[in-house]
Amino acid sequence: PQQSIMTTSDTAVTTGPDLNDSRSPVDKKLYRQILLPNGLRVILICDTLAMHQEKFFDDDSDDDDDDSDGEDGDEPEGESKATAGTGKGKDADGGDDSAGDDDGDDDDDDDGDEEDGLRDAAAAMVVGVGSMYDPPEAQGLAHFLEHMLFMGTKKYPEDNAYDAFLSKHGGSDNAFTENEYTLYHLCIQQEKLFPALDMFAQFFIAPLMSQDAVEREMNAVESEFQEVKNSDQCRLQQIMIQTSGRKPEDHPFGIFGWGDLKSLRDAPKEKGVDIMDVLRNFYDQYYFASNMSLVVMGAYPLDKLEAEVVKMFSDIPSSPREKQVWPMVLKNEKTWEQVLESPMTTIGLPMVDESLRKVYRMAPVRDRHTLSLTWQMPEQIQHWRSRPCDYLSHLLGHESEGSILSAMKKKAWATACYVGVGDQGIEFASSHSLFTATFSLSEEGMDHWQEVVEAFFVYVGMLRHYCSGTSKLPEWIFEELRLTHAMTYRFSDEQSPETYVETIAERLSPHFRLPADRVLDGHDLLFEHNADAVKDLLDNFITPDKMRVDILSSSFGRAADYEAKKDDGNTEDEPNETTDDGDGDDEKIGEENPDVQATIAKYGPPTVEPIFGASYWEEAIDDDTIQKWKQSSNAQLPPDESSIKLPPKNPFVPEKLELKPLPPDDADHPLLNASIKLCISIGKKKSWLPATVMKYNGPKKSLLCSYEGEDEQWHLLDQELSDLTPEKLIPGFEGTFDNKAIKYRVVALAKDGEGAVMKFGDETDYDVEEGSAFPPIPPPQQPSRLPKLFYNQDGIKMWHLQDRKFKRPIAELRTRLICGNANKTPLHSTCSDLFVNLVSDAMTEIAYLASVSELGSSYYGSDVGITIRVNGFDDKLLTLYKTLLEAILSFRGRSAADGLPPCIKPGRFDALSEVLKRRYANAGLKASRLSSDIRVRCLRPGSRSSHVKSLALETLTEEVFVTTMADMMKSVSVEILYHGNVTLDDAKEACTLISDQIKTTGGTGLSKKKYPTEYVAQIPRNAEPYLVVAPTIDPAAPNTSVEMYFQVGKDDINDRVMTDLLTHMLYEPLYKQLRTDDQFGYTVGCDSRWTNGIMGMYFYVVSSYKSATQITDRIERFLSEHRKELVEMSDATFMEHLVGVAKQKLDMFNSLSEECSSYWTEIRDFRYEWQVHRDEALALRAVTKSKALECYDKWLYPWKVTGSTETEGASQIRNPNRRCLVVQVIGANEEGDAAIGRPEVKDDLPVGEQIDQLINDFHTEVAKQTWGKVY
């Protein structure tokens, strides 16, 4: 590694332990750890592959050449590419779908975004302060401060300067606040890294934190809170905090870390506290260099990265400027042994003893039955080498034969489980770890939850038996885990730069405390087995008398049943206050829900948690039950009648990890895909011509070069392969072709995962970096680099592509069974959903073993059939695939008399039907999800709603299911892609396996003409938008969601790139105007959409205090006002946007999975445009500003343009050419305007049926016109 820059002793940069030895073997990046004089710890990452692609600095070209080569520089159906956006704060999802069977998302969406495979520069800063440090009088302060830092700095005072800069140059940023740290991160195109870093550094040097931004950002925090207020997981977490016995004044666990207007505005005001004084004081206490760590990754030499970081970040104050409320002890200051000890290590465990040995029942928002068992224990990072909690999680959470889950599934009591300690949220801190076992129960399982707990302790007792006696836990269990972890780390995929720097930065946060030399691998590898630590956890912590039980169950009623009571006149509840107000009105609570009445009769009126408003009951677990569980947990083997046992040895651990050989005449070579220049005689003059190396013929030692204009020529390579080492082969390297007749020079090398590179090696490249010139388009790939259709008969098509980019022993095998009757009736759609659940459930024990060995599998149904994906290490991939395919095809040709195939165990049909019923009930509970679902169903008349499918499910029997599936799968066609470390012979073997099974079970017989047709509604051109207004399904939903969709037309590459360009140009100003300036909501944005071959754009806002009409009008006004900005946009600025989009199109994939997804999308959508990103970049090159304005006026602008030039104004006549659909989903939040216009929910009409009728009315209004068959 390069040596660190050292300055004078007063300003010396201290170099830390070398991380390069702990890299994964496939990780070619270079690392350096430094400690700045102010105490800031920094990890610098030189992205060598990206750097070899282009020399950003140090012009080393030969002086005797006239042409200098020196370079200066600074899976649901349908999909679309998302433009770069900006977000701040915690994940708005709140982890709401954590329980395996409670996914409430409808699957009829077109909005699955494909990763763009960005390989930009990135940076992340972690600050060692989080929500646990919030002052009790201003809870949520750390989160609020995170928001405020984005609102301008003294050096860059405009509150959107940073975001605007990133957005303009194809970048993005984010931040989030955890218990003990706050993390900020960004990504940006390589050439703009240092300007972005300078702006970023000012967050931590001189932020404005102006009074003008306070109200805006408090509203933003409030909006974030409203988005998760109905998250069951967040509600349960807050109940755990509420009932822990810890007050915010006494223990940080009692802090409400999200923050809202009440905690940040109202509470401080009531106590006479100036929030700005508290905010600035908090910043001065905890935002100092020794409490921060920075990670920077870029395509620059380490010395250059270090010099820039030292220059930009040295002004961060080295120590606190105010006395800390929670004092941090700094030891060995400004040396590499520097340690900042967290005060949270001494505060004790989070829950008082009196809060344990109790069961807490909560009425959930969603229809679900979830049992959670929680134990608190000392923090576990001290055991980072052995990770005993992970070891126990592996055993207790195993899903194979003999596991707790397997035993519970046999009794139809549970459908999923998760066991372990999370690494974020309240589960993981310097003070504690929370070990949790969570089970998704069936309705029957709810009646037997105590027996589920007992089964858990039977397994614990078995483990204690092996840990305490002469019999020890088999060594192969740990060895399998160690080996799997090692293989996963060794061949880990390259993450996107932003994700990677974020991951490394989190490992530098205070409570991770990994040794400095193990930052890269300390969290990924297992170094030793610590049997004593495992035994200690089992004996002293995971015990019945130290456990709390939480049950979320709709058998207690739903949250809305109880919250309706508060709307009938109750005042805001105080902490731990029940809803019993003494006036005899308790019968009003859920008076039409017998479950609610039964719950109140059994447990009394609920307690209401005051922040989220969740209703719950607290009950001590009786001594007899505790004693029974204790007996089960004694060190002993399970009783003879129990099916519980240790997991079997894993047959899917890969044994062959070598890369398969490539064809000799199309072999690998270090110069492949590189951009070079060749000195060629043209007449009497020699000229340097740019070219790209496309192919290598090993036996002939020849390289195929593609020149500008796509002319190709073979050249004999003079150097031996051994001479072209990575150390020598860098930009600027020179060699010869054709017996030294032609001289060549390397301009840029391709990165792993990248295709052909085209650079010119002159000032043109600099112009591209600066955004003032369009990037060169690489030549088209050779056919051998693209999927090849090698089998096309008997209704089966199979493509193969051997990987030569990522060089890992992994593969992807994707299959789609196109079923002629897939979407024939609502019954067929329902059966398809249930079929996927049944197969997934039947394969759990096998698929789980495979997943432990990094061999994944998944399946999903759609309107055209069933898709199967198997991916991971290729050695045992076909073994798993064969088992899965056999299970899927076993449903073909069965009659009602035959019943379900043998792979479906007794009782599972009813159990999985119940799971599906809950999924349908939970679909669209979030306003934003429902608005997207309504938009998609308006566009896709053939899609079935969850409500319609739930009606079909109500009367579904096994016999009807079997005959319906047989009808659905009677006529099929099969499409397959095998991609990765697999040869053509491997692909032929897979093809034979698949075709044999298809033929054995009934053959194919489905011609393309009979494929299910997915028509898309044609929105007529109209001066006024078509409007669909619906209420939220959840009667207590706090948010209103609006989507404005503008339909463009049938897929056309020119329109496709234009929608991408327009949304790229509009995103940041839209976000700034509606989110930052106007405060319309936390979620604001726009994007392009591709819906079954029809292009469009949509604008979306989610708000808890603006009405749907206000939002719609504001979007229209923005589109009206922004035309002037486009008209006046300079040519240079327009070119920067154009270049930004083009670079995103041309960027590399980060992993085989990303590349395979791109190819699979082309197969799935019947386009087969393998080089679609290159083709789109070519189309972008022809786009002009006048053409962009023309499309804006036609598709988006609300008014008819009457001028003859682009600068002339618009009339007051509405634009008659727009095809616009507005979907408004209106929530029930009465505190602002969000509930204005909410449609009445009729008592005699389910809300799902009401929404279906609205969509049918829309189809009638547009005369049921469609675009016809697109592909």
Contact yes or no for 1039/1229 (Cβ under 8 A) = yes
**How far apart (Å, rounded) are the C-alpha atoms in residues 859 and 838?**
11
Contact yes or no for 1214/1024 (Cβ under 8 A) = yes
Strands 1026-1031 and 1220-1226: parallel
Alpha helices in 329-403 (DSSP H): 388-396
Active site residue 886: no
**How far apart (Å, rounded) are the C-alpha atoms in residues 782 and 807?**
18
**How far apart (Å, rounded) are the C-alpha atoms in residues 256 and 266?**
14
Helix 877-889 with 844-852: angle, nearest 10 deg: 160
CA dihedral defined by 1240, 1243, 1246, 1252, rounded to 10 degrees? -40
Strand partners, 177: 182
Q: Which of 456, 403, 465 is nearest to 634 (CA)?
A: 465
Distances (CA, A) of 1125 to 165, 1119, 1130, 1137: 17, 10, 10, 14
Contact yes or no for 1029/1108 (Cβ under 8 A) = yes
DSSP 8-state class, residue 42: E
Host H or E run for residue 582: none
Three-state secondary structure along 648-687?
Answer: CCCCCCCCCCCCCCCCHHHCCCCCCCCEEEEEEEECCEEE
First-residue to last-residue Cα distance in the chain: 53
Alpha helices in 980-1129 (DSSP H): 984-1000, 1053-1070, 1108-1128
If phi > 0 it is left, if psi is from -120 to 50 it is alpha, else beta; for residue 168 that is: alpha
- Considering the candidates 79, 180, 191, 217, report the single residue annotated as catalytic: 217
859 token code pair: 């399946």
Active site residue 1068: no
Residue 392 has a CB neighbour count (10 Å cut-off) of 21
Owner of token pair 């339909």? 1047
Strand order in the sheet with 855-861: 788-793, 796-802, 972-980, 810-819, 865-873, 855-861
193 token code pair: 């890294």
**How far apart (Å, rounded) are the C-alpha atoms in residues 1047 and 295?**
42
Strand partners, 1005: 972
- Considering the candidates 71, 77, 79, 146, report the single residue annotated as catalytic: 146
Residues sharing a CB contact under 8 Å with residue 1105, sequence separation 6 or more, in sequence order: 219, 223, 1229, 1231, 1232, 1233, 1234
Contact yes or no for 101/440 (Cβ under 8 A) = yes
Task: Characterize 793-819 residue by residue with b for buried, 16 or more Cβ atoms within 10 angstroms of its Cβ, and e for exposed.
Answer: eebbbbbbbbbbbbebbbbbbbbbbbb
CA dihedral defined by 987, 989, 993, 998, rounded to 10 degrees? 50
Amino acid at 920: Y
975 token code pair: 């499409």
**How far apart (Å, rounded) are the C-alpha atoms in residues 436 and 1254?**
43
Residues sharing a CB contact under 8 Å with residue 615, sequence separation 6 or more, in sequence order: 362, 363, 559, 562, 563, 579, 606, 607, 608, 609
Amino acid at 1242: K
Calculate Rg over the CA atoms of the chain.
Answer: 31
**How far apart (Å, rounded) are the C-alpha atoms in residues 925 and 747?**
54
Beta strands in 160-266 (DSSP E): 172-177, 182-188
Residues identified as active-site: 146, 217
